[in-house]
Amino acid sequence: MKRNRCITNGSVNKLNAEDRAAHDWYRFVLSFPPHLVRDYIRRFSIRSDQLVLDPFCGTGTTLVECKKLGIPTVGIEANPMAYFASKVKVDWNPNPTGLTEHVNKIAETARAELESQGIEDYPALFNMGQIQIDRLRTLSAETQKLLLTDSISPLPLHKTLVLLSHLKQQSDERYTNHEMLALANSLVFSISNLHFGPEVGVGPAKSDAPVIAAWLDRVYAMADDLRQIVKAKDVPAIVYHGDSRQLSNLLEPGSIDVVITSPPYPNEKDYTRTTRLESVLLGFMRDKNELQTFKRGLMRSNTRNVYKGDDDDQWVSTYPEINRIAEDIEKRRIELGKTSGFERLYARVTKLYFGGMARHLADLRTALRPGARLAYVVGDQASYLRVMINTGQLLAIIARSLGYEVIGIDLFRTRLATATREQLREEVVLFRWPG
């Protein structure tokens, strides 16, 4: 199989300064970059009368970049926080002056409430002895259990909950979604104790943080972006909250000209943890039942979202290479004496992942126009007991068996494996639907 090479390194995955407008409103740390989308828009010669699909749209990189270039898009995302982010990031209708005036009013009343409690928004002006911890607002015990332990300190949480209450009291449908997304961004990168390297984790606790000021900075940046990108605001961009393995009830038959996407990779990355804090505080996830419902709609890419009734593995039961990899993982597990519940699922989740991708590609066929072109950004993995999984090559085998033409595999970049310290390939697998 042809695997094209290109000059690449880790820096190619970074967001360039000139691309930050709208993209930087909220994005996953490891999101693929806008310039990669542009590369394939040029390569596929996509026109403004064609429709681009991203069936794993995440935080909307493909959708935003296409909208900037005047190309209509459809996105599908199962993670409710990421779906919300994508939907907001392609909504360029708010008046930027109206937005800033509205947030200034909210900030004024929220600060007044905090000051009445003896709390200033800036930590340097605040003495912790001025207020008792047990008088701070907090989450219910059930909701608190959803968060990574110590992911946000008591005082920043109190300030956030005060700001949220004023956001709801002064809600304006023209601006509220953008204001909420700005808060989600601030929570992750300014207010919380979270850090990414590249997995989400908890760093040193911040006893305090300027919540309202951080939020205002993000909204002001949004308003500046809206002034820049307003010319493309009417380019259609539709986002659905749905399962990428069940597309036929969301997409019109024969409607899609191009697919540019990056599905999850088969590894132990629990994508629900990446967005857990903001999902909980913004109200997208309130208890364990809602968390489980959310996980059931995701591709089975890690052992934390495998369930008893899952049967996507049936889609790849006759693929010898996938079965060989699963057998190698199970053999290695036994040799190493690994007996935890999660470790016992490594072989199964590998088959469930590729079965889910087969199910996705099979269901996608009816939505594609004859000659439709597809680009899937995927990465090789060695997360499961260091057994190599060449994701791109396996995805190409599955696609070919389902009637797709495999054009080639481009090397996007290499990245360092956490477990083995080896360089793993991140690739773009290219297909064509003959129709």
Q: What are the tokens at 18?
A: 């000139």
Same domain, residue pair 114 and 182: yes
Same domain, residue pair 209 and 262: no
- Are 121 and 211 contacting, i.e. CB atoms less than 8 angstroms apart? yes
Burial classification of residue 373, based on how many CB atoms lie within 10 Å of its CB (0-12 exposed, 13-18 middle, 19 or more buried): buried
Of 231, 253, 279, the residue that ends a domain is: 231
* Alpha-carbon dihedral angle through residues 376, 71, 49, 54, given to the nearest 10 degrees: 30
Rounded Cα gap, residues 365 and 253, in angstroms: 9
Strands lying side by side in the sheet with 73-77? 3-4, 405-416, 423-433, 368-379, 256-261, 52-54, 73-77, 237-241
Same domain, residue pair 189 and 245: no
Domains identified in the chain, total number:
2
Please check whether residue 293 lies inside any domain of the structure. Answer: no
pLDDT for 9 beyond 70: no
Same domain, residue pair 360 and 225: no
Q: What per-residue confidence (pLDDT) applies to 407?
A: 96
Please tell me what DSSP assigns to residue 94: S
For residue 139, the enclosing domain spans 96-231
Q: What per-residue confidence (pLDDT) applies to 423?
A: 83
Please check whether residue 275 lies inside any domain of the structure. Answer: no
pLDDT for 365 beyond 50: yes
**pLDDT single digits (tens) 48-83:** 999 999 999 999 999 999 999 999 999 999 999 999
Please check whether residue 311 lies inside any domain of the structure. Answer: yes
Rounded Cα gap, residues 24 and 28, in angstroms: 10
Reported as a pLDDT band with limits 50, 70 and 90, residue 4 is: very low
Please check whether residue 287 lies inside any domain of the structure. Answer: no
State the first-to-last Cα distance of the chain, in angstroms, to the nearest integer.
22
Query: Please, what is the angle between helix 96-116 and helix 154-169, to 10°?
Result: 130
Same domain, residue pair 238 and 387: yes
Same domain, residue pair 73 and 100: no
Same domain, residue pair 136 and 201: yes
Please check whether residue 358 lies inside any domain of the structure. Answer: yes
Q: What per-residue confidence (pLDDT) applies to 7?
A: 42
Mean pLDDT of 35-39: 95
Please check whether residue 196 lies inside any domain of the structure. Answer: yes
Radius of gyration of the chain (CA): 23
* Residue 221 neighbours by CB under 8 Å, 6+ apart: 24, 25
Please tell me what DSSP assigns to residue 266: S
Q: What per-residue confidence (pLDDT) applies to 221?
A: 97
pLDDT for 29 beyond 80: no
Same domain, residue pair 348 and 216: no
Rounded Cα gap, residues 332 and 205, in angstroms: 39
Of 184, 215, 231, the residue that ends a domain is: 231
Least confident of 36-50, 67-81, 405-419: 405-419
